[in-house]
A and B are shown apart, each in its own frame.
Chain A
Amino acid sequence: MNQDNEKQNEKIIDGAVNSDYKYGFVTDIDTHVIPKGLNEDVVRYISNAKGEPEWLLNFRLKAFRKWQTMKMPHWAHLDVPDIDFQDISYYAAPSVKKGPKSMDEVDPELRKTFDKLGISLEEQMRLSGMAVDAVMDSVSVKTTYRDKLAELGVIFCSIGQAVHDYPDLVKRYLGHAVPYSDNFFAALNSAVFSDGSFVYIPKGVRCPMELSTYFRINAAGTGQFERTLIVADDDAYVSYLEGCTAPMRDSNQLHAAIVEIIVEDRAEVKYSTVQNWYPGDKNGKGGIYNFVTKRGLCRGDFSKLSWTQVETGSALTWKYPSCVLSGDNSVGEFYSVALTNNYQQADTGTKMIHIGKNSRSTIVSKGISAGHSQNSYRGMVKVLSKATNCRNYTQCDSLLLTSTSGAHTFPIIDVQNESSVVEHEATTSKIDEDKLFYCNQRGISTEDAIGLIVNGYAKEVMSKLPMEFAVEAQKLLSVQLSGSVG
């Protein structure tokens, strides 16, 4: 490559490094934050504030006591500064007294926030036919399209409300896929979770629209601990979308969420995430610490769970959406694009636990590292001895855009029988100079060419996203790597 091109390359990478976070604004609405610190009283306060029944309080307390005995895990390839868990406020609710009945009742400031985010509720209601449950800080602000869904028997509401309206369902499934004792952050979340979404698709119902939640951390110095529970009963189908943003703050904010999915016989759940929490500034200051436990239980025969994630934000990402394939012939999928820039660190991947016979799983992971970032794939495929005829295919590719960034792959494969086939393939390289040259030769500028190549590289995963999300995800990639992506 000639010198001009190299300079141009540098410029593009500079451009990428210098791109700003466009969702960095703070919404000036009245937020109710409780004092910092965590003890049993705080747990009781949260439970009380949400008017929860006794069994849920006990669940929280058990989790809290377990959490006190646990230590923060350090096995991930992440440089995690010490987090003072007593310096965080565990509950912040926007002071909206009653749940709004219609769009007009939603706080105008809040609506403006969502407008800025580009997920105007009306727009989405009208144009895309999606039902949106927007969670700001910790309280579910508004669930759109609830009535329409109710006709089919689909329950889509905040988990706080579900505890009141459908206590039996919540009690039956809560903590099933992710027990409160699962790990440090799961225990923390189980103790202090504030809100999140609850989805129940009854037997035989195919949810006619895509369900969506938007999470946003707004108040300073708070942590967000949302909890999502999705249950697809026999023969049901649902596609669920989740988007996340947080405003710019200097101090790091903690996000420790749990997503639990239960998939029964012949049911199918598709879970898509676009995660764009504030990644910190270009010197690595601030940003969200994202410690998330996501797990799906494919416990029905012929059940299917598909995770798709586009991870572009957060200063630290610690996230392993997993599938426990306990039903015979169940299917797990994981498609991921993780882009890190500046001083971001991501350690993300999946676990596929094959327990049922003939279960199948596919993992496609694409990592892109720029700036001084570190991007790791960590995965586990485990086939138990009774899980005969299982099949797994894993492909994880890493693309390095700068010589100061790092790309790492840590897969574990554990097979305990003779009839299963597990394959893993990984490659790491920088953008192919031959491809760049080829594009240049045909009159495509280096900037456009890098865009083309990165787009093509991530296409396999992007194509799995629902259309509306794919557009947003592409935009996010371009914001993160502005100047270099299409």
Chain B
Amino acid sequence: MGALKQYIDFYRTNSAEIDANSAPALNALRQKALEALDGKELPHKGEENYEVTDVDALFAPDYGINVNRRPLDVDIAEAFRCDVPNMSTWLYVAVGDIYRSSRTAGLNMPASVIVGSLREAAIAHPEIVAKYYGKYASLDDAHVALNSLLAQDGLLVYVPSGVVLERPVQLVNIMNAAAKIMAFRRILVVVEDGAQARLLVCDHTQKVDEDCLASQVVEIYVGADATFDYYDIEETGVHTHRVSSLFVHQEAGSNVLVDGITLMNGTSRNDYRIDFCGEHAETRLLGMAISNGDQHIDNHTFIAHNAAACTSNELFKYVLDDNAQGAFSGKILVAPDCPKTEAYQSNRNICASPTAKMHTKPQLEIYTDDVKCGHGATVGQLDQEALFYMRTRGIPYDDARTMLMQAFMSDVIDAVRLDNLRDRLHHLVEKRFDGSLALCRDCGNACHNNSLNNKNNNK
């Protein structure tokens, strides 16, 4: 009970250091955040939309927080594990919550574009950060308020009107879990009217011996007729936990793709909130999770149609093995007077072991009549007939199973709008299913990763 208190006490005793190692534009939000936390608690298991995930318990351990921004010892080559073949990106690295640029950062980037440490940007361009920072993330959410209270740095991607970024921006988050630490991460993306940008975020953990926790808040502003893609690939370790809240604000005619991929994690809770604030905006929200061992993945989505003629299309897919617990809760809200809305939501899950659990809650709340909305949710197994068909053609049981699971995930991957990343993801998912995902192989923890592939042992 009451994990929040230790953080508030921590802030009260260390507020001078926190402010000193951050920037005024970020510090400006802390007092409000503190007020918002008054009388609140982090969500407990069993509360509405937190039916199986205890966020409070995730924050309860006594984690170390790197307030004084001491450089952490990491193998920076880790960042290049995320290299996507044949795709050049502007690469940035965050170690814990300290942001660094790599040698490709900013190379040949249009001069008006700002990408880099939020803290540095807040000092160099305070007007931009002050205008957007904390404007879309709601402090009503206790986790967001806590993050706003303690976050000292982050990544800023600012693309001014009409600028098209040809290469994607890539951020590699590295946690070094040699000690019990936590990171308060922040990402602010501003894509102004008519601009185009893509951001690829990869999460990794080194030395996965101890529990560590990442608290992440992502704010995305997409201006009129702008296009933005956000890919989030979580490939950490079984002791790395993450609580993430993502907020997207879309103006008229904008087009956004958000893809959250959980390949390997401990316990993750991801919130996605999308607000349509102008007509004819479009969103594709995708998610996928492959979980085994005692992993826990909980995605919560909320899409608010506050303007007419917007389209949202949501698809989340899970494969759960061993004792994995999956959860999905999604809500589509169509406010009054938003005709010609189209909103679809789909959640499909495979439970691959007798002890895997799935909890899903797709919801529609609609106050306008001229809409086309639908949702679907399934929990089931691989198609036995397809499996049988493949085996009659001489494909071994294991291979057939892996192929079917890959095929099951393929529509999430195929929606990726970067060809090379799509190929890379197919490859990663294949490796994940056959148990040879590089990081897992190296980690030395017996996380039963091979069990996805060893089903016939039980037969």
Interface set of A (CB-CB < 8 Å, partner B)? 75, 77, 383, 385, 388, 398, 400-430
In chain B, residues 340-374, which have Cβ atoms closer than 8 Å to a Cβ of chain A? 349, 351-374
**Contact B378 A407, beta carbon cutoff 8 Å:** no
**Contact A413 B360, beta carbon cutoff 8 Å:** yes
In chain B, residues 366-410, which have Cβ atoms closer than 8 Å to a Cβ of chain A? 366-381
Contacts of A430 in B (CB 8 A): 369-371
In chain B, residues 143-164, which have Cβ atoms closer than 8 Å to a Cβ of chain A? none
B336 within 8 A of A: yes
24 inter-chain pairs at a CB distance below 8 angstroms, sorted by A residue, are A383-B379, A398-B364, A400-B366, A400-B369, A403-B369, A405-B367, A407-B366, A409-B365, A410-B361, A411-B361, A414-B360, A415-B351, A415-B379, A416-B357, A417-B351, A418-B356, A421-B378, A421-B379, A421-B380, A422-B379, A424-B376, A428-B373, A429-B371, A429-B373
B423 within 8 A of A: no
Instruction: Point out the residue from B358, B365, B367 that lies within 8 Å of A415, measured CB to CB.
Output: B358
B127 within 8 A of A: no
Of all chain A residues, which has the CB nearest B377? A424
**Contact A403 B364, beta carbon cutoff 8 Å:** no
**Contact A418 B371, beta carbon cutoff 8 Å:** no
Q: How far is the CB of B137 from chain A (nearest CB, A)?
A: 25
Contacts of B362 in A (CB 8 A): 409, 411, 424, 426
**Contact A75 B357, beta carbon cutoff 8 Å:** no
**Contact B377 A411, beta carbon cutoff 8 Å:** yes
A194–B180 alpha-carbon span in the complex (Å): 62
Contacts of B367 in A (CB 8 A): 405-406
Q: With A408-B363, A418-B351, A419-B381 in contact, is A403–B368 under 8 Å at CB?
A: yes
B75 within 8 A of A: no
Of all chain A residues, which has the CB nearest B48? A75
Contacts of B357 in A (CB 8 A): 385, 414-416
B337 within 8 A of A: yes
A430–B338 alpha-carbon span in the complex (Å): 13
**Contact B366 A428, beta carbon cutoff 8 Å:** yes
Q: With A403-B339, A430-B369 in contact, is A424–B378 under 8 Å at CB?
A: yes
Q: With A412-B360, A415-B351, A418-B352 in contact, is A401–B374 under 8 Å at CB?
A: no
**Contact B361 A413, beta carbon cutoff 8 Å:** yes
Given contacts A403-B339, A409-B375, A421-B379, 11 further A-B contacts (CB under 8 A): A398-B364, A403-B369, A411-B377, A413-B358, A414-B357, A418-B352, A418-B356, A422-B380, A424-B376, A424-B378, A430-B371
Q: How far is the CB of B363 from chain A (nearest CB, A)?
A: 5
Q: How far is the CB of B329 from chain A (nearest CB, A)?
A: 9
A383–B358 alpha-carbon span in the complex (Å): 10
Contacts of A424 in B (CB 8 A): 360, 362, 375-378
Instruction: Point out the residue from A404, A411, A419, A420 that lies within 8 Å of B363, measured CB to CB.
Output: A411
Contacts of A418 in B (CB 8 A): 351-354, 356, 381
Contacts of B360 in A (CB 8 A): 412-414, 424
A127–B370 alpha-carbon span in the complex (Å): 45
**Contact B336 A423, beta carbon cutoff 8 Å:** no
A77–B367 alpha-carbon span in the complex (Å): 13
A412–B374 alpha-carbon span in the complex (Å): 15
Contacts of B353 in A (CB 8 A): 418
Instruction: Point out the residue from B337, B355, B358, B371 that lies within 8 Å of A428, measured CB to CB.
Output: B371
Q: How far is the CB of A395 from chain B (nearest CB, A)?
A: 10
Of all chain A residues, which has the CB nearest B369? A400
Q: How far is the CB of A275 from chain B (nearest CB, A)?
A: 24
Of all chain A residues, which has the CB nearest B355? A385
**Contact B354 A385, beta carbon cutoff 8 Å:** yes
**Contact B369 A401, beta carbon cutoff 8 Å:** yes
Contacts of A77 in B (CB 8 A): 365
Contacts of B374 in A (CB 8 A): 425-428
Q: How far is the CB of B426 from chain A (nearest CB, A)?
A: 25
Max chain B Cβ within 10 angstroms of own Cβ: one of A385, A398, A426: A426
Of all chain A residues, which has the CB nearest B326? A415
Contacts of A415 in B (CB 8 A): 349, 351, 357-359, 379
**Contact A402 B366, beta carbon cutoff 8 Å:** no
A426–B357 alpha-carbon span in the complex (Å): 23
Ranked 7 nearest A-B pairs via Cβ? A400-B369, A421-B380, A415-B379, A428-B373, A430-B369, A409-B364, A424-B377
Q: How far is the CB of B73 from chain A (nearest CB, A)?
A: 43
In chain B, residues 68-83, which have Cβ atoms closer than 8 Å to a Cβ of chain A? none
**Contact A426 B375, beta carbon cutoff 8 Å:** yes
A26–B358 alpha-carbon span in the complex (Å): 52
Q: How far is the CB of A38 from chain B (nearest CB, A)?
A: 30
**Contact A407 B364, beta carbon cutoff 8 Å:** yes
Contacts of A412 in B (CB 8 A): 51, 359-361
Contacts of B369 in A (CB 8 A): 400-403, 405, 430
Q: How far is the CB of B381 from chain A (nearest CB, A)?
A: 6
Of all chain A residues, which has the CB nearest B375? A426
A318–B368 alpha-carbon span in the complex (Å): 23
Of all chain B residues, which has the CB nearest A369? B369
A317–B355 alpha-carbon span in the complex (Å): 37
**Contact A426 B364, beta carbon cutoff 8 Å:** yes
Max chain B Cβ within 10 angstroms of own Cβ: one of A75, A402, A409, A428: A428
Q: How far is the CB of B355 from chain A (nearest CB, A)?
A: 7
**Contact B364 A413, beta carbon cutoff 8 Å:** no
Q: How far is the CB of B453 from chain A (nearest CB, A)?
A: 16
Contacts of A403 in B (CB 8 A): 336-337, 339, 368-370
Contacts of A426 in B (CB 8 A): 362, 364, 374-376
Q: With A403-B337, A413-B358, A415-B357 in contact, is A428–B381 under 8 Å at CB?
A: no
A398–B373 alpha-carbon span in the complex (Å): 10
A427–B375 alpha-carbon span in the complex (Å): 6
Contacts of A388 in B (CB 8 A): 354
Q: How far is the CB of B305 from chain A (nearest CB, A)?
A: 12
Contacts of A405 in B (CB 8 A): 367, 369
Of all chain A residues, which has the CB nearest B344? A427
